[in-house]
Amino acid sequence: MADDQVHLAVFDAMGYSSHAGLAANLAVSASRNQRRQGTDLVTTGERLEQILVEHFGHSTYVTAVLADLDAATGLLSWVNRGHHPPVLIRGGRWTTSLSCPPADPLGIELGISATLCREQLEPGDRVLLYTDGVTEARDARGREFGLAQFTDFIIRHHADGLPVPETLRRLMRAVLDHHAGRLGDDATVVCLEWHGPSANTDLRPAHRSAAATADTGDVG
């Protein structure tokens, strides 16, 4: 977080090779560097693509959602680079995907311009960023964990009054159990909850964010 700006991002590299892991780590590091320099979301995506191409050519690519939340107003801004759209949970029960015209994944260089999209959050809203390792985890019968089960899990545990970090910890355990204890793909979830502007103008607006991740190896 910088001033009243909360920076969020999720990355998912293609494949399971060492190149994929290096590409994802490079994208995360380069994104943090661009944010520290105050680079806007669209330009950040363009620079990440340049960096990935310089290091890997076109041998791998990374999908991503890059987002900013103005914690004072609740205005969420984001760009989608070939990734699953964020999910919005409102009123503790209503869910929708936040659509935004996707640009090409980072590292492909198809020349599709990124679109900056915006959504005005309401107090109590939760925004979920995730990778397909969560929704596409399959059980022994080949059934996916799925987006509906994923969002329902978050809603039910929110209704039980659990804090966000504990909800995500239980979610990752449920995903692992669904996939017999070992994932076939990395699974990451970022959850942001906006509480609305603070009644005390001397205090920053209340918000809470948490992230959880599980990889294809052992999970601690």
Report the distance separating Cα 195 and Cα 20, nearest Å: 36
Provide the whole-model pTM.
0.85
Report the distance separating Cα 133 and Cα 184, nearest Å: 7
Q: Which is higher by pLDDT, 175 or 206?
A: 175
Q: What is the DSSP letter of 217?
A: S
CA torsion 49-44-65-95 (nearest 10°) is -150
130 forms bridges with which residues in the sheet?
189
Are the CB atoms for 150 and 135 separated by under 8 Å? yes
Q: Give the pLDDT band (50/70/90) at residue 204.
A: very low
The mean of the pLDDT values for the chain is 86
Q: Which of 179, 180, 185, 207 is nearest to 194 (CA)?
A: 207
- Side by side, the strands of the sheet bearing 187-196 are 94-97, 87-90, 126-130, 187-196, 206-214
> Dihedral sign, CA of 65, 122, 168, 147?
negative
Q: What is the DSSP letter of 145?
A: -
**Domains of the chain listed by start with CATH number:** 5-214 (3.60.40.10)
The tens digit of pLDDT for each residue in 21-45 reads: 899 899 999 999 999 999 999 999 9
